[in-house]
Amino acid sequence: RGKKAFVAGVADDNGFGWAISKALSEAGAEVILGTWVPALNIFETSYRRGKFDESRKLSDGSMMTFSKIYPMDAVFDAMDDVPEDIATNKRYAGNEKWTVSEVAKCVEEDFGKIDVLVHSLANGPEVAKPLLETSRKGYLAAISASSYSNVSMIQHFGPLMNKGGAAISLTYLASEQIIPGYGGGMSSAKAALESDTRVLAYEAGRKWGIRVNTISAGPLGSRAAKAIGFIDKMINYSLSNAPLKEKPLEAIEIGNTAAFLCSPLASGITGATIYVDNGLNAMGLAE
């Protein structure tokens, strides 16, 4: 039986979500997407116009396809939570059932049970501000979009996951070491995400028999990372200082690790933070 994966956080072909989808497709899984509502229209238009065709190519010559693309906003759990300005926002118009509980319900109706759940999304409106200048609102927004969104997804998708299934998310070293520039409470959000990975591994493992892990990824010049403003510096720092010196980190290396972690090959791994960063996390001091 082919495995079914729901991947949240794909809106172009540059990010980790796309690479994870590709690795899962290479491994024979069926991929279903949940794309942020305000990014959905442009993603679907670009997809239809063939903008991603080159990066859709799989090793057997076929093209990666998505069984369905749902609109989703992981900051809201149910329609009752949605404030008026979002409900009437024109970037949300024409879409419906995009809160986490509603998307989970739609996926169950359309596809039944799933095996793999991928959280590859984050948002911190004040990421460019140091923590000392971050507002309460900005900090809580970072936690809501980047950490609670994962808790919510596992709460709502857990009941429709097959036993032996696996959930994965993406984190960053700034959770545990000082990375100047990764502000707005995003470092705090990643610390919460990693801690939640352990607690959710226990709770969801006992409840549904699924595994929960997170990948601590090295720097990638994705759309989200460019918004932080210092990504080129981080990529260059990693190229000069990681144990695997001068080796660029490819998104597909994170994708392949995700596919491994979600496969039976990793049946004994849960609650773990796995580094895919050319080893940079292990360095104590630059050479």
CB 4 within 8 A of CB 30: yes
Binding segment (CB under 6 A) for ligand NAI, from list 7-15, 86-94, 108-116, 239-247: 7-15
Instruction: Write the CB contacts of 9 (distance below 8 Å, at least 6 apart in sequence).
Output: 15, 16, 17, 34, 35, 36, 118, 119, 120, 121, 122
The verdict on 157 binding ligand NAI (CB under 6 A) reads: no
- Between 16 and 208, CB nearer to ligand NAI: 16
- Between 162 and 237, CB nearer to ligand NAI: 237
Residue type, 84: E
CB 103 within 8 A of CB 34: yes
Among 25, 101, 120, 134, binds ligand NAI (CB under 6 A): 120
Among 33, 116, 220, 262, binds ligand NAI (CB under 6 A): 220
CB 214 within 8 A of CB 169: yes
Binding segment (CB under 6 A) for ligand NAI, from list 104-112, 177-185, 213-221, 266-274: 213-221
3-state secondary structure of 145: helix
The verdict on 255 binding ligand NAI (CB under 6 A) reads: no
Binding segment (CB under 6 A) for ligand NAI, from list 107-115, 116-124, 175-183, 265-273: 116-124
| Active centre residues (catalytic) | 147, 190
Angle between helices 186-208 and 136-143 (to 10 degrees): 30
The verdict on 74 binding ligand NAI (CB under 6 A) reads: yes
Site string for ligand NAI, 22-61 (x = CB under 6 A): --------------x--x----------------------
The verdict on 145 binding ligand NAI (CB under 6 A) reads: yes
Instruction: List helix spans (H) across the chain.
Output: 16-26, 37-48, 53-56, 84-87, 100-111, 136-143, 149-157, 186-208, 223-228, 231-241, 251-261
- Which residues contact ligand NAI (rule: CB under 6 A)? 8-11, 14-17, 36, 39, 72-75, 120-123, 145, 170-172, 217, 219-220, 222-225
